[in-house]
Amino acid sequence: DIQMTQSPSSLSASVGDRVTITCRASQSISSYLNWYQQKPGKAPKLLIYAASSLQSGAPSRFSGTGSGTDFTLTISSLQPEDFATYYCQQSYGTPFTFGPGTKVDIK
Amino acid sequence: QVQLQESGPGLVKPSQTLSLTCTVSGGSISSGGYYWSWIRQHPGKGLEWIGYIYYSGSTYYNPSLKSRVTISVDTSKNQFSLKLSSVTAADTAVYYCARDGVVTATRVFDYWGQGTLVTVSS
């Protein structure tokens, strides 16, 4: 299985801050990397697919970069509704696997 | 707008079989073009993909659960189902169904059910 890691596991930030989350795959996954946002008690929501493509309806302050093994999710200006847990997920090969998540909370 | 809704018992006894159904609305499973997946999340933990089914009935299961998992589809009811046998407390989780699509050659979970908590306890 392809193992996914994320850093940091949690972070505290203020509204307006620029936030960057890193995801690393245990082997090259090209650009087959997706990002999801999950709020407490809710299902995950697709934000970014294919490493850098913004899902329809997702705010443009979210962006993704990377290829191979190293990827980043950036929130350019953190908004109150962005406090959540973010997961990366590889779709390069089955079984599909997720990172352990990064919780973004209020500073 | 595609919507998915999980249903099934919230409490299952150890060693028994967990059974859940996902009802899809706003789109037809039999139209093809999408896979239909089950994903679970242990309390306070990350996400684990269980497996998928295509409308034709072809399946793929996560090897970590393969010996205990069966996913089936009923296109007449626009539903797909999960059965997990010989459950233990370690199977206590929120179970999600999700549409598993292909966008620019990338598989994505683009629509999710709200999730249902299944507790394994006697």
Mean pLDDT by 10 residues, chain A (107 residues): 98 97 98 97 97 96 98 97 97 97 94
DSSP per position, B23-38: EEESS-GGG-S-EEEE
Residue B32: pLDDT over 90: no
Q: What is the pLDDT of residue A44?
A: 98
Phi/psi at B91 (5° precision): -90, 0
Report residue B47 as tokens. Answer: 């996400």
Q: Do the Cβ atoms of A107 and A11 come closer than 8 Å?
A: no
Which residues of chain A from 52 to 81 reach within 8 Å of chain B, CB to CB?
53, 55
Q: What is the pLDDT of residue A89?
A: 98
Residues of B in contact with A99 (CB under 8 A): 46
**Checking DSSP bridges between strand A33-38 and strand A85-90, what pairing results, if any?**
antiparallel
Q: What is the pLDDT of residue A40?
A: 95
Q: What is the pLDDT of residues B6-26, one digit of tens each?
A: 999 999 999 999 999 999 999
Contact B108 A100 (CB under 8 A): no
Q: What is the pLDDT of residue A35?
A: 98
Could you tell me how many residues make up chain B? 122
Q: How far apart are CA B51 and CA B33, in angstroms?
A: 17
Please list, in sequence order, all residues whose beta carbon lies within 8 angstroms of the beta carbon of residue A17, skipping any fewer than 6 positions away: A77, A78, A107
> Which of A1, A42, A98 is nearest residue B47 as measured by Cβ atoms?
A98
Which residues of chain A from 78 to 97 reach within 8 Å of chain B, CB to CB?
87, 89, 91, 94-97
Q: Do the Cβ atoms of A85 and A70 come closer than 8 Å?
A: no
Distance from CA of A43 to the nearest CA of B (A): 6
Q: What is the mean pLDDT of residues B68-91?
A: 98
A104: left (phi over 0), alpha (psi -120 to 50) or beta: beta
Q: What is the pLDDT of residue B105?
A: 85
Q: What is the pLDDT of residue B104?
A: 85
Q: What is the pLDDT of residue B3?
A: 98
Q: What is the pLDDT of residue B64?
A: 97
Q: How far apart are CA B98 and CA A12, in angstroms?
A: 30
Nearest CA in chain B to A35: B108
Q: How far apart are CA B26 and CA A59, in angstroms?
A: 24
Find tokens 């908590």 and name the residue.
B117
Nearest CA in chain B to A5: B46
Distance from CA of A51 to the nearest CA of B (A): 10
Q: What is the pLDDT of residue B50?
A: 98
Phi/psi at A34 (5° precision): -120, 155
Q: Do the Cβ atoms of A33 and A78 come closer than 8 Å?
A: no
Contact B47 A46 (CB under 8 A): no
User: In 3-state terms, what secondary structure has residue B54?
Assistant: strand
Q: What is the pLDDT of residue B38?
A: 98
